[in-house]
Amino acid sequence: MKKMRLIVMSVAATLLLLSLYTLQGGWPSKSEATFSKATIQQGSSGKDVVELQGRLRFLGYYEGKIDGEFGPKTKNAVTWFQWKFGMKSDGVVGASTKLKLWEATKNWKPTAADFPGGESGKSSGGSTSGGGGGSGGSKNTNAGSDVDKSNKLGLSASDIKIMANAVYGEARGEPYEGQVAVAAVILNRLKSPEFPNSITGVIFQNLAFTAVADGQIWLTPNERAKQAVQDAINGWDPSDGCLYYFNPETATSKWIWTRPQVKTIGKHIFCM
């Protein structure tokens, strides 16, 4: 009887919480003091975008400048966050995305760096250059605040880490030269106007890498993959400037076979 009473009380408490949640429009009361109820999307600006960029950067999805301008780089970060959390990856920040982001960043507290002009050496206003989805403009590989001074390209530590994840997820069974070649392809795309102009934009571009599609991008890379990334950053390009590669045994795209093939390393054919 006592056990049954506990079950009934638990169910009643759950129903009460759900009722409160519904009455508040599906948003915790604490969040009312943060995001407004407006939908945030590319082209938006202001306080909501500042908070959005700050929370995304806290999680490691955004490496750009906190400027309150929702440009391509911010959209790329939102899309990445949505994909990672199993949501519709449309880059539009509505109630469900705000709630998920708030839940994932409960320990986030704004600092001076989370406001326009609050970052050392940076002026307020203006939009971040570049972005994950667009082409054109200058390449801005040094947008993050965690730049790794040990590399020649000025990539951030987060850039290098996600590259190692990609190399490990895509080519951990390949010879070392092939792993460096995969890292080099990522860098070649970064330099090409045909691809997004950030490391995360290149790696998480739709349908670009199998490891992203099947989740292997989130496996912990080994030291070999990390070293392969460093060698590519330092200038070794076994792919000879290629922008694509594929495994002929598993490739399902007819289009990839139309690309000019340069060389084969391990199981991968590298092409332009």
How far, in Å, CA of 143 to CA of 20, rounded? 41
Residues 28, 99 contacting (CB under 8 angstroms): yes
Angle at 76 between CA 109 and CA 58, to 5 degrees: 15
Alpha carbon distances (Å) from 72 to 11, 69, 126: 45, 10, 13
**Reported pTM:** 0.50
What are the backbone dihedrals phi and psi of residue 264, each rounded to the nearest 5 degrees, phi first? -115, 130
Helix (H, G, I), strand (E, B) or coil at 246: strand
pLDDT at 136: 31
| Residuewise pLDDT in 10s, the chain (272 residues) | 555 665 555 555 555 445 444 434 444 434 334 788 899 999 999 889 999 998 888 887 787 788 889 998 898 888 888 877 888 888 999 999 999 888 888 878 777 666 665 543 333 222 222 233 332 333 443 433 455 555 677 888 889 999 999 999 999 999 999 999 999 999 999 999 888 888 988 998 877 888 888 888 888 999 999 999 999 999 999 999 999 999 998 887 888 899 999 999 999 999 99
Query: Domains in the chain and their CATH numbers?
Result: 28-114 (1.10.101.10), 157-271 (1.10.10.2520)
pLDDT at 3: 57
pLDDT at 230: 95
pLDDT at 85: 81
Q: Tokens standing for 29?
A: 């009361």
pLDDT at 208: 86
Tabulate helix, strand, coil % of the chain (nearest 5). 45, 5, 50
pLDDT at 165: 94
